[in-house]
Chains A and B, each alone.
Chain A
Amino acid sequence: MTVDSQNDNATIGIFARLQPLLARLLQGGLTLLAVSLLIFLAARALPGDVANMILGQSATQEQLDLLRVQLGLDQPLWWQYLIWLGGILRGDWGTSLSNGQPVADLLALGVRNSATLSGVALAVMLPLSLLVGVIAAQLRDGFVDKVFLGMSMVANAVPDFVTGTVLVALFATTVLHVLPAVSFIPPGDSPFSYPDALVLPATTVIIPGVMYLARLVRVAVIDVMATEYIQTAELKGLSPSRILFRHALPNAVAPIIPAASLVAAFTVGGVVVVEYLFAYPGVGSALVDAVTNRDLPVIQANVLVIASAYFIFNLIADSFAQRDEAAGQRQSKA
């Protein structure tokens, strides 16, 4: 009896703790549903007729009508949407209109390649931002710091495709010829088998990310270094490294994490441009190709994947921000 009631309490406790998360996931699910509707409508609103694109200019009206019936394009829009949505929920993403392959297969390939690119970029970007930010803060108002601030201004003002083009000119075509200008990775091969194909696309994503995040790190470290507890640590005679790593960084990193999650979200979204630029076979370039071909199921699937990734990173950013807020409230109560 007592054991039972204890178990009940434990269940309730876990539920109470999970409840905000569940609410958030439900909210996220609804958001993605709304996004899927928008994607669907936007894809249908693209100019140009799918049947025309597939059959070419010489097709007769009967051929076109027949294809439309085969593709289900003669059905009302809401019905087409429900069919598509139902398919996704069953794991059936449809077939590509342009090459007849299952969308799920194309998607798996693109997601793997894009995730590799984003993952590599983030794995370099985040520690590098921390390092650059801390160094700039330590050398505050010095020459290195000023150069960094100027460079970060420029890097953040310049669009990704310009950065990428400049990198290509420097390392692939005009000045040096050490890296490939186009990231050719055969379908089915892992991008890690072609590391030199990853370098330029990843660098194009890393540069603006580091320049933005390192600025935030720099300001956070400067703020923390000006607090009384750092002064106290100095007056306790602690070593500079202990002050930096034990006293300053844990406090400086906390406000950076939500921003870093958002940058991660932007990186996943921004990968479209970079992939297109380097013809890197990921979700982004697949999307661009699909739009050119009016390949509706592929467009929808790819946009939905990018939107979900965006959503997940935003969720992470939000929960960090909320945790900070809760900590702040505890502090103000004390």
Chain B
Amino acid sequence: MTMVLKASGLTVERADGAPIIEDVSLGLDRGEVMGIVGESGSGKSTLALALLAYARRGVRIAGGSVRVADTNMLELDTATLRKARREVVAYVAQDPGAALNPMLTLGTLLTEGLAGSKAEKVVRAREILRKVGLPDDEAFLQRRPRQLSGGQQQRIAIAMAVIAKPKLIILDEPTTGLDVSTRAKVLDLIRQLCISDDLTAIYVSHDLAVIANVADHVTVMYGGQVVEQGTMQEVLATPRHPYTRALLNAVPSLQARQTLRPIRGRVPAVGEAPNGCIFSDRCDHAIEACNTRPALRLVGGTQVRCVRPELAEAFEVRPQAVGHSDRQVANNSAVLQADGVNAFYGHRQILFDVSLQVEPGRCLAVVGESGSGKSTLSRCLIGLHGNLTGALSLDGKPLPLTVDQRDRNARQRLQYIFQNPNASLNPRRTIGQSLAAALANRPEACGNRSGAIIAEAFERVGISPHLAMRYPAELSGGQRQRVAIARALVANPAVLLCDEVTSSLDVSVQASVIELLRSLLADGLGMLFVTHDLAVVRNIADTVAVLSAGRVIEQGDVYKVLSAPSHPYTQSLLANTLQLPTEAIDVPTIARRQSAAGSR
């Protein structure tokens, strides 16, 4: 086997000398896929870019070497480096909507930078479009990125990367923004390209389940350092670093409802890492010896940066969570009910005769892909979508369809939590002020009481009330989403409408938000949880409604629907949900991949 990528001692620092990634080494043989996994802020994207000898503004590559095939990437002059980026290494960014220039046609995007005549370029473009499963006619080449769906855009981005037949392709979270079935198709495409073109790839993701489905090797990054590195099966079967174990524990399973273990604390900011082991301040197994930084060492086939790699044997398997769906619910009357809701955009009907109910202390999950109408449904319930027919009722009383006709009580009883806390919290208000503004609608909570209510809400979501003076930008993503939940709680709601609240979060942070929502359910809150992730549904919902093209096609108890789905659409959603192979059922995925690799 020929080595395609050999990076050693790669260090990237900020202008003030604080390292963002430190002493990272990677090696990949031809045709292999390396997964790089870690939370946001672990330096994985910086690493991906450094492999192309690229550093963002205010950041520089301070040391190490990157050799791709016979090219020493870090020692090229600018003209040769440009040539190397055209021909040797290619890059696919996370968000194709942002990474494709909106003003240029697909034909230009695909072929610019290629040598050859115009006719040759068009032939190449058509060839690559067929390969990634897109139309190859002239009209399609003349389209612009915005005229494509998210999945098609990502195919174009991948086509753009592989059209010059590079030796190495670097994929930076290429499927994170896509919904399950599109993601499955894009992953299939990547896998297929790896086999047919013998492509060597780096796949960056925060999602271990995705990595497990494409990679041969995995590198776990934390705080800019490699904490564990080895073959996929070895690392997943026996994680030796507590951080790897913690990441695995945070991944929700489709098979069983489990206690999700969020990782306490947060990823250290650049320049603020502890002196000893970089994970020591969040590690449950830290001892005295962890105060000196351990080196990477080879333990049983994997590289581990931990003084106690033998702990691997001691890591407990996470326990099953008590499913509160098993609990007998005393009060079974619906708190929020929708009957025969039809919703429209202009003359186009988005929702068809949707009926559902939310009960106190129980969670109804609404599942569907983008465009299925699930967000429209939650907007109808909160009263933000004006164009609808049907009947809503709250606490048995009819509820006006739009929010401006609802009285204060009805508005407070229903609270909405948005997908993106960065956008839903006012950046110019401290989080304390954001909560106080939500309280202003509760006249009984004025004056001294309001401070107490706010503090109580912060306590409830696990945010220290000392942080009330902070601005959203000063918090982590998970903290922000907790603040958004706290803001909903101060209104003393009966039902929370959660719109994809965990989709933009890291797996570890998602675990903490799910645990929080579970505890709120235990307090008796009703919840409508909109998501496209069935593993999350399995872990939080009691009942589920599957939405496809605006119709509820399947509805029932979660364990029934997920274990024996009756509708083909639900079956395909389930089949496309990626799982960690540690669960017995998915092991064949890896085996299949291995045999494919072996046959090459």
Chain A residues contacting B95 (CB-CB under 8 Å) are 228
Taking a contact as CB atoms under 8 Å apart, the answer to whether B112 and A236 are in contact is yes
Chain A residues contacting B99 (CB-CB under 8 Å) are 228-229, 231-232
A235 contacts B by Cβ under 8 Å? yes
Taking a contact as CB atoms under 8 Å apart, the answer to whether A238 and B101 are in contact is no
Beta-carbon nearest neighbor of B150 in chain A = A334
* A247-B104 contact, Cβ under 8 Å, with A228-B99, A237-B81, A238-B112: yes
Chain A residues contacting B91 (CB-CB under 8 Å) are 232, 235-236
Bound together, the chains give a CA A237 to CA B163 distance in angstroms of: 13
Q: What is the size, in residues, of chain A's interface with B at 8 Å between Cβ atoms?
A: 21
Chain A residues contacting B81 (CB-CB under 8 Å) are 237
Chain A, residues 221-256, CB within 8 Å of chain B (1/0): the string is 000001111011111111100100011001100000
Beta-carbon nearest neighbor of B163 in chain A = A236
Chain B residues contacting A232 (CB-CB under 8 Å) are 91, 93, 99-101, 157
The residue from B54, B84, B146, B160 contacting A331, defined by CB atoms under 8 A apart: B146
Taking a contact as CB atoms under 8 Å apart, the answer to whether B83 and A237 are in contact is yes
- In the assembled complex, the CB of B553 is this many whole angstroms from the nearest CB of chain A, namely 25
CB interface residues, A 63-114, toward B, < 8 Å: none
Bound together, the chains give a CA A246 to CA B98 distance in angstroms of: 16
Taking a contact as CB atoms under 8 Å apart, the answer to whether A242 and B93 are in contact is no
CB interface residues, B 126-182, toward A, < 8 Å: 146-149, 157, 160
* A247-B101 contact, Cβ under 8 Å, with A228-B95, A237-B81, A237-B82: yes
Q: What is the size, in residues, of chain B's interface with A at 8 Å between Cβ atoms?
A: 32
CB interface residues, A 14-40, toward B, < 8 Å: none
CB interface residues, B 24-56, toward A, < 8 Å: 49, 52, 54
- In the assembled complex, the CB of B169 is this many whole angstroms from the nearest CB of chain A, namely 11
Bound together, the chains give a CA A221 to CA B146 distance in angstroms of: 21
Chain B, residues 83-112, CB within 8 Å of chain A (1/0): the string is 111110011010101111111100010001
Bound together, the chains give a CA A331 to CA B150 distance in angstroms of: 12
Chain A residues contacting B57 (CB-CB under 8 Å) are 226
Bound together, the chains give a CA A208 to CA B54 distance in angstroms of: 39
Taking a contact as CB atoms under 8 Å apart, the answer to whether A228 and B82 are in contact is no
Taking a contact as CB atoms under 8 Å apart, the answer to whether A334 and B147 are in contact is yes
- In the assembled complex, the CB of B141 is this many whole angstroms from the nearest CB of chain A, namely 17
B398 contacts A by Cβ under 8 Å? no
Taking a contact as CB atoms under 8 Å apart, the answer to whether A235 and B52 are in contact is yes
Taking a contact as CB atoms under 8 Å apart, the answer to whether B102 and A236 are in contact is no
- In the assembled complex, the CB of A233 is this many whole angstroms from the nearest CB of chain B, namely 7
Chain B, residues 335-363, CB within 8 Å of chain A (1/0): the string is 00000000000000000000000000000
Bound together, the chains give a CA A242 to CA B108 distance in angstroms of: 12
Chain A, residues 293-332, CB within 8 Å of chain B (1/0): the string is 0000000000000000000000000000000000000110
Chain A residues contacting B396 (CB-CB under 8 Å) are none
- In the assembled complex, the CB of B501 is this many whole angstroms from the nearest CB of chain A, namely 21
B17 contacts A by Cβ under 8 Å? no
Taking a contact as CB atoms under 8 Å apart, the answer to whether A238 and B103 are in contact is no
Beta-carbon nearest neighbor of A334 in chain B = B146
Taking a contact as CB atoms under 8 Å apart, the answer to whether A234 and B101 are in contact is no
Bound together, the chains give a CA A250 to CA B52 distance in angstroms of: 27
Query: Other CB < 8 Å A-B pairs besides A231-B99, A232-B101, A251-B101, 11 of them?
Result: A232-B91, A234-B85, A235-B52, A236-B90, A236-B113, A237-B81, A237-B82, A237-B113, A246-B112, A250-B103, A334-B97
Would you mind naming 17 contact pairs between A and B with Cβ atoms under 8 Å apart? A229-B99, A229-B102, A231-B99, A232-B91, A232-B93, A232-B99, A232-B100, A233-B101, A235-B52, A235-B54, A235-B90, A236-B85, A236-B160, A237-B86, A246-B108, A251-B102, A334-B148
5 closest A-B pairs (Cβ-Cβ)?
A237-B85, A237-B86, A237-B82, A228-B98, A229-B101
